[in-house]
Structure 1
Amino acid sequence: MYLATTGRRPDAPPRPAGVGRRIPGTVVALGAVSLVTDVSSEMVTAVLPLYLVLGLGLSPLQFGFLDGLFNGATALVRLLGGRLADRGSGRHRTVAGAGYLLSALSRLGLLVAGGAAGGIAAALAADRLGKGVRTAPRDAMITLSAPPETLGRAFGVHRAMDTTGALLGPLVAFVVLWATADAYDAVFVVSFATGLLGVVVLGLFVPADPSAPPPRAASTRPVPSPVPAPLPAAGPNAGPRPNAAPGPTGPTGTAARPTADPAFRRVVAAAALLGAATVGDSFLYLLLQRGLDLSAALFPLLPLGAAACYLLLAVPAGRIADRAGRRIPFLLGHGALLAAYLTLLAPSGLPAAVLVLVLLGVFYAATDGVLMALAAPALPAAGRASGLAVLQTGQALARLVGAAGFGAAWTWWGPRPALVAAALALATALTAAWRILPGRKARR
């Protein structure tokens, strides 16, 4: 049996009537939720290092330990969110909403924590917990609401809106701090209100069951009564009755093992392998800062450059993935990351820095949503969130290992030898992923 990466599974929900290549309203609504939520979260992310290190006196080592610990916990919590979302029809919105609400409430936790280390740790944990819980159900709702052949474009639209929020968040935080004479409490209050708005948008505009077809307008034309089909004759060779309950090989059985598809397991393996050879963005920005001798005040502008490129390229990359197949763009995106590593090894300068930021934006545009679109058709609808959670968790944990390994190599050998080692590791991982990833049609 063959599985096309853009085809439909036999157990996939019926496609709503009239759905062509336009982006479903559910995807746009989820994009709006992510946009508003990212404004809220990036407001805090932009000021948190200054607030904790300069305002409360935490050492960089303490801040790095807290941030790394909670980012690792986020990856594991995704499994819980995916499992809870798949336990019943319509649970995706409920679980995702709980995650969004928890992240919004964490801003109030930072507000009331004051300088207490325990309160700050609890607020950060709540934020990461909310992010981990909501990610897989949200992406599953995108795959369930959009036709399989347009998943790349759907994820491109969502990721573009999400990145818009990430760009606006630091700007809003800057305006609030400027208007309130550096009052961090005001940033937390505005962030909480913005996050709560995202929860409201989710409840009002995202349907509980994204796979259900929209209600059709009532018609005055009489509808003929359907003629019941004859039941198949009983016997050892008879097929299943039309309304027979699904057995262990039907949707119920596949939901219990959403990762049973060999093609999906190969996607997980390739994503984890490439993730382990990926250097954390912060290290790349630090290398750029060293090469340009950039001042600390201008350092926060570097992530904005990569995010702006990602915003511009997310939708075109999704369109290309839908037309050409998602395997090639995903691999080419990692090729762009490898080119960024090699550029950093060349003589530094402003043109090289701009090229690195562009290549980093290309990397995210061609891999983030495209990976979800590549994996989703290999998963049963009833186990979609659980399967995507496994993929996201494996990739996130692999990236943590890769970032830790690069940090250790930098400490022992210096930045340039560490970057050479990272480039060799990524080139090797790309070669292996080319063979591991299923093609346009993969044997099951």
Structure 2
Amino acid sequence: MSLRDRPGAGSAPGRGRATRRISSTVVLLGVVSMLTDISSESVASILPLYLTAVVGLSPVAYGFMDGLYQGVSAFVRIAGGYAGDRGGHPKWVAVAGYGASALSRLAMLPAAGFAAISAVVTADRLGKGLRTAPRDALIAEASDPADLGRAYGVHRTLDTIGAAIGPLVAFALLAAVPGSYDSIFVVSFAFAIVGVAVLVLFVPNLKSSAGKARIGLRRMFREISGKRLRKPLLAASVLGLLTVGDGFVYLALQERDDFAATWFPLLYVGTNVAYLLLAVPLGRLADRVGRGRVLIAGHGALLTCYLLAALPAGGLGLTVGTLLLLGVFYAATDGVLPALISRLVPAEARGSGIAAAQTAVALTRFASSLMFGVLWTLQGPGTSLVIFAAVLAVAIPVAGLLLRGIDRAEVAP
């Protein structure tokens, strides 16, 4: 590991934590994620409308598709984390995942019908599942343990810049040539390939600082099923089961609101701008007051988001408020969860531990999308959101009890 990538590098002796620099590896991985998110979000921002209005999927069928988008990555997350830990090459496992997602963009061009599009979405999400834990393990390895929330916040900020630009790209292409979905898929592929190139050419393949130890399958399963992870994994699962996919929230806004219907691809921008502005501040807050507390508070924002989206009448103000609350939720949870988990497992099992938490979230969100799709068909969007909000109001204090004291339960280096 070079000096500039060593945790705490760039800090003058005796100076405060605020002077510590973020590793160049974290920044480079943020650039990779930014380019990849321009690619993925340009497609994701038009996917709900494309699938329901162009392909003609029902709410239940869209719920299944959204479930795939949310949860199919769970099937390879632990494999990706373990491959990075075991082989000592987390970067190259991440490269394989990013490459698979890039190729899926081109595969959308000939895809027509439910089965073909499901296969393409599955390939994209499997690529995401494969890359996420090794990438997050690289971030943890390159960062000071006391500043993990900040490091993940910086990465997620760059990632979210891409997530904000992607819908703008899609909107501009559709404004220039109405109905030109194929052009979105081609431009999306170009951004994804540039991201893979940055990862291959510039990001170092950092290995575990714990003596570059290699972990066996038995040890890996013992770590991810052990006492330290049991409660946080259960809390993440309970909360994930009540997390509605973004697409459903946006479709609910579209049904009640002319503004949301007219500017549908830009709804993603509103959420991502809030995420962009808050990822680093909330990451730093999590480092100071406790990552478990910030994680729980983020789900409080999600509950309020559901209630605003469920109102029968909308308008610009309520729509913007809903999008901002959804951005607060992601800023308080997306980077905070891996920062929390990474301190509960030994360094040589870090990728596997992060992957276990991400798998729990992905699987429960898959189930959540299926349940919400059925509920939408039976009750409509407003009532369904209120029901999910009511159950989430019960789940939040339960998860809070499970995470009590979790920030003090660190593993010794």
**Equivalence for 1:142:** 139
Partners of 2:73 and 2:129 within 8 A in 1: yes
**Equivalence for 1:165:** 162
Change (3 A) 1:256 1:176: same
For the pair 1:43 / 2:42, whether they are aligned, the reply is yes
**Equivalence for 1:78:** 77
**Equivalence for 2:277:** 312
**Equivalence for 1:326:** 291
Change (3 A) 1:259 1:68: closer
Residues 116-161 of structure 1 show CA distances to partners (whole Å, capped at 9, x for unaligned) of: 8766554333222211111111111111111111111111111111
* 1: CA distance, partners of 2:8 / 2:394: 46
Amino acid at match of 1:312: L
Residues 292-323 of structure 1 show CA distances to partners (whole Å, capped at 9, x for unaligned) of: 34463323332221111111111110111111
Partners of 1:155 and 1:318 within 8 A in 2: yes
Once the 2 structures are TM-superposed, how far is the Cα of residue 285 of structure 1 from its aligned partner? 2.5
Partners of 1:177 and 1:183 within 8 A in 2: yes
**Equivalence for 1:18:** 9
Change (3 A) 1:51 1:305: closer
Once the 2 structures are TM-superposed, how far is the Cα of residue 107 of structure 1 from its aligned partner? 2.3
**Equivalence for 2:227:** 262
Q: TM-score, normalised by structure 2?
A: 0.84
Partners of 2:156 and 2:335 within 8 A in 1: yes
Q: Mean Cα displacement is larger for which, 361-370 or 62-71?
A: 62-71
Residues 323-381 of structure 1 show CA distances to partners (whole Å, capped at 9, x for unaligned) of: 11211111111111222234445674433333222221111111111111111100111
- Equivalent positions of 1:3-402 (< 5 A) are 16=7, 18=9, 20=11, 21-48=20-47, 57=55, 59-60=57-58, 65-69=64-68, 71-89=70-88, 91-111=89-109, 113=110, 115=112, 120-177=117-174, 183-209=180-206, 211=208, 254-255=219-220, 257-294=222-259, 296-344=261-309, 348-350=313-315, 351-402=317-368
* 1: CA distance, partners of 2:122 / 2:36: 17
Change (3 A) 1:60 1:28: same
Once the 2 structures are TM-superposed, how far is the Cα of residue 197 of structure 1 from its aligned partner? 0.9
* 2: CA distance, partners of 1:114 / 1:375: 38
For the pair 1:441 / 2:408, whether they are aligned, the reply is yes
Q: Which runs of 5+ in 1 are unaligned?
A: 1-13, 214-242
Amino acid at match of 1:26: T
* 2: CA distance, partners of 1:283 / 1:53: 11
Partners of 1:16 and 1:212 within 8 A in 2: no
**Equivalence for 1:223:** none
Partners of 2:8 and 2:144 within 8 A in 1: no
* 1: CA distance, partners of 2:171 / 2:362: 30
Partners of 1:30 and 1:138 within 8 A in 2: yes
Q: TM-score, normalised by structure 1?
A: 0.79
Aligned-partner SS, 2:343: helix
**Equivalence for 2:374:** 408
Amino acid at match of 1:135: T
Partners of 1:43 and 1:191 within 8 A in 2: yes
Partners of 2:295 and 2:336 within 8 A in 1: yes
Q: Which runs of 5+ in 2 are unaligned?
A: 12-19
Partners of 1:267 and 1:438 within 8 A in 2: no
Aligned residue pair count: 395
Q: Mean Cα displacement is larger for which, 155-164 or 299-308?
A: 299-308
Change (3 A) 1:418 1:42: closer
Aligned-partner SS, 2:264: coil
**Equivalence for 1:236:** none
* 2: CA distance, partners of 1:341 / 1:181: 31
Q: Mean Cα displacement is larger for which, 292-301 or 275-284?
A: 292-301
Once the 2 structures are TM-superposed, how far is the Cα of residue 92 of structure 1 from its aligned partner? 0.6
Q: Mean Cα displacement is larger for which, 93-102 or 201-210?
A: 201-210
* 1: CA distance, partners of 2:279 / 2:273: 10
* 2: CA distance, partners of 1:410 / 1:118: 22
Which structure has the highest helix share of the two? 2
